[in-house]
């Protein structure tokens, strides 16, 4: 067990944990940030996506010791109840979610994409969102929502 400092959603946290613990479990179990979901646990589905220094990364396969000097943003850091992020507004406008389980990871990847490239082509959207799986098949609505934000 080590003392670990993290910068998440604009706040600083210090926790005691095994440095090899995946970030996903620190977020969910130690910090109560349960918006980031567990899907496969092996870096394949994208349900656990968070932004690390602005890049969408799978937190289930990321030892917490590798992000102590980084800026982390989870779904709880995207918009507020009173002021939604434009991506969240587009998600509502396009009625994107079905079961909803993968959607926090989808939104994180969409925000990361648009922060890096505010005017992505459909092809660039498909490529950027390729690592986020949706068992309900909401891909068309996800793409429409991202196109809505950029327009
Ligand atoms: Fe992390 Fe599936 S739970 S990629």
Q: Is 67 exposed, middle or buried, given 0-12, 13-18 or 19+ CB atoms closer than 10 A?
A: buried
| pLDDT of 151 higher than 70 | no
Task: Ligand 1 pocket test: pick from 25, 35, 41 the residue with the most ligand atoms within 8 Å of its Cβ.
Answer: 41
Residue 150 pLDDT grade (very low, low, confident, very high; cuts 50, 70, 90): confident
- Compute the distance between CA of residue 60 and CA of residue 39 in angstroms, rounded to an integer: 9
Percent of the chain with pLDDT over 70: 99
What average pLDDT does the segment 87-92 reach? 97
Task: Please report the pLDDT score of residue 1 as a whole number.
Answer: 85
Reported ipTM: the value is 0.96
Q: Kindly state if the Cβ of 44 falls inside 6 Å of ligand 1.
A: yes
Cα-based angle 17, 41, 8 (whole degrees, multiple of 5) = 50
Q: Kindly state if the Cβ of 43 falls inside 6 Å of ligand 1.
A: yes
- Which atom of ligand 1 lies at the shortest distance from residue 48's CA? 1
Q: Name all domains of the chain by residue range, CATH numbers in brackets.
A: 2-75 (3.10.20.30), 86-150 (1.10.150.120)
Q: Kindly state if the Cβ of 39 falls inside 6 Å of ligand 1.
A: yes
Q: Kindly state if the Cβ of 131 falls inside 6 Å of ligand 1.
A: no
- Compute the distance between CA of residue 33 and CA of residue 13 in angstroms, rounded to an integer: 12
Instruction: Return mean pLDDT, the chain.
Output: 96
């Amino acid at each position: 067990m080590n003392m670990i400092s993290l910068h998440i959603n604009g706040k600083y946290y210090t926790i005691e944990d095994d440095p090899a613990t995946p970030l996903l479990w620190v977020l969910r179990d130690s910090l109560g940030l349960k918006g980031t979901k567990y899907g496969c646990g092996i870096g394949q589905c994208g349900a656990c996506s968070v932004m690390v220094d602005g890049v969408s990364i799978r937190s289930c396969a990321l030892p917490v010791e590798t992000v102590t000097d980084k800026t982390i943003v989870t779904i709880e850091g995207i918009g507020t109840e009173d002021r939604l992020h434009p991506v969240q507004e587009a998600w509502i406008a396009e009625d994107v979610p079905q079961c909803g389980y993968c959607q926090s990871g989808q939104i994180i990847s969409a925000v990361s994409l648009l922060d890096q490239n505010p005017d992505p082509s459909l092809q660039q959207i498909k490529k950027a969102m390729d690592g986020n799986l949706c068992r309900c098949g909401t891909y068309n609505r996800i793409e429409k929502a991202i196109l809505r934000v950029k327009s």
